[in-house]
Amino acid sequence: MARIAVVTSHPPLSRGGHLVIAEALTAVLRDAGHDAGLILTPQNRFGRQGGAYLANWLTDAGQAHDGRPVDQVISFRFPSYAVRHKVHVCWLNHRMREYYDQWSRFSRSLSQRARVKERVRRRLIHSVDHYLLTRNVTRLFAQSRTIQARLSRWGGIRSTVLHPPPPPRQYRCDEYGDSILVVSRLTPLKRVDLVVDALCEPVAAGVHCVIVGDGDAFSALRQRVRENGLEERVTFLGDVDESKLVGELARCRAVCFPAHQEDYGLVTVEAFASAKAVITCDDSGGPTELVHDGVNGFVTAPNPQSLAAALAMLSEQPDLAERLGQQALRAVSEITWENTVKQLLLV
């Protein structure tokens, strides 16, 4: 059996989907008999990215503390793919999106002087990323077609799509309850405010919603709920542990995830594994690769009216929610850790 280092960069005091997938991969590798460990490398704030890239480049992933060699590295996201190893597979979650697909949004928020500086930094990061993802890795996988398209558009970098399976948790379906579940970091790109606006539409007057997650948009979302008189229909649970999350997935009617140009959206496969349909938007990126409209969920236009109609349909028709949920469960059964590990391991 092989000794594998799973490597991902990680900002302090946060927890994202990439870390959940990295932890899941490490656990699956161990269960398969491999000696696997997780290495968390730095991801610095704006203005200090160079230091983070250098720290990852200098990270010694060639051998463990006992002096035995590491057979392979599997990295995830910027700048963890700067780690050097002779057998290095990158299963890319994303590059630094502010310098790629989010550049227009990001640069508009800068002063003229800062914009000039960031343009220079952007060119440098593009050059460094291109080198690392074409010369520093042995093989490159993208976690979604959305990520694959970004690699092709910015850099002409080729990759193979490999969707992450749901983490190995005790998913179940207890019932198709009364509430639509939203699981997300509460930040603008996740567009949970769009769900709140949809609940204000007359057609969605009977929809109840449970929101799991925290983030910098939390206070604004709560204020929006209060201003629209939705306190009786929207419940905020904040961050929850794994057991609570699995329970909420087991009891909800369906899951809504309307994020904008999401890299992958792990909650999609977690909902599917719980036999729950997913409602997403046609510009949501990763989730639209798995959600097929009217088959295992709904793909709507990114506006309150369209989203409200889909929410109302599933809320009013539990039989429909169950039928779509069972299709979702069948779909995710084809995304397995056994196949994933087989493709990621080169030793």
Cα 329–335–336 angle (5° rounding)? 110
Contact call for residues 320 and 296 (beta carbons, < 8 A): no
Q: What CATH number has the domain bearing residue 297?
A: 3.40.50.2000
Q: How many domains does the chain have?
A: 2
Final residue of a domain: which of 162, 188, 221? 162
Q: Coil, helix or strand for 36?
A: strand
> How confident is the prediction along the chain (347 residues), in pLDDT tens digits per residue?
899 999 999 876 667 788 999 999 999 999 999 999 999 998 876 767 888 999 999 988 887 767 789 999 999 999 999 999 999 999 999 999 999 999 999 999 889 999 999 999 999 999 999 999 999 999 999 999 999 999 999 999 999 999 999 999 999 999 999 999 999 999 999 999 999 999 999 999 999 999 999 999 999 999 999 999 999 999 999 999 999 999 999 999 999 999 999 999 999 999 999 999 999 999 999 999 999 999 999 999 999 999 999 999 999 999 999 999 999 999 999 999 999 999 999 98
Final residue of a domain: which of 162, 188, 215? 162
Same domain (yes/no): 190, 153: no
237 lies in a domain?
A: yes
170 lies in a domain?
A: no
Q: Which domain holds residue 311?
A: 179-332
H or E segment and range at residue 288:
none
Phi/psi for 17 (5° steps) reads -60, -35
Contact call for residues 257 and 307 (beta carbons, < 8 A): no
314 lies in a domain?
A: yes
Note the pLDDT of residue 58.
Answer: 93
CA distance 259 to 144: 15
Torsion of CA 193, 198, 204, 207, to 10 degrees: -20
Of the candidates 80, 5, 89, the one whose C-alpha atom is nearest the C-alpha of residue 49 is 80
CA distance 240 to 214: 9
CA distance 12 to 249: 28
CA distance 144 to 141: 9
The widest CA-to-CA distance across the chain, in whole angstroms, is 65
CA distance 7 to 19: 10
* 328 beta partners: none
Same domain (yes/no): 78, 42: yes
* 209 beta partners: 180, 234
347 lies in a domain?
A: no
Cα 102 to Cα 3, 122, 164, 298, distances in angstroms: 37, 12, 23, 26
In this structure, the number of other CB atoms found within 10 A of the CB of residue 58 comes to 11
Same domain (yes/no): 214, 318: yes
CA distance 231 to 225: 6
Task: Identify the residue whose tokens are 């046609």.
Answer: 282
The number of residues making up the chain comes to 347
Same domain (yes/no): 158, 187: no
Contact call for residues 193 and 184 (beta carbons, < 8 A): no
| DSSP state for residue 182 in the 8-state scheme | E
H or E segment and range at residue 148:
helix 145-153
Same domain (yes/no): 123, 244: no
CA distance 262 to 260: 6
CA distance 94 to 16: 12
Q: Coil, helix or strand for 216?
A: coil
Note the pLDDT of residue 43.
Answer: 82
pTM: 0.94
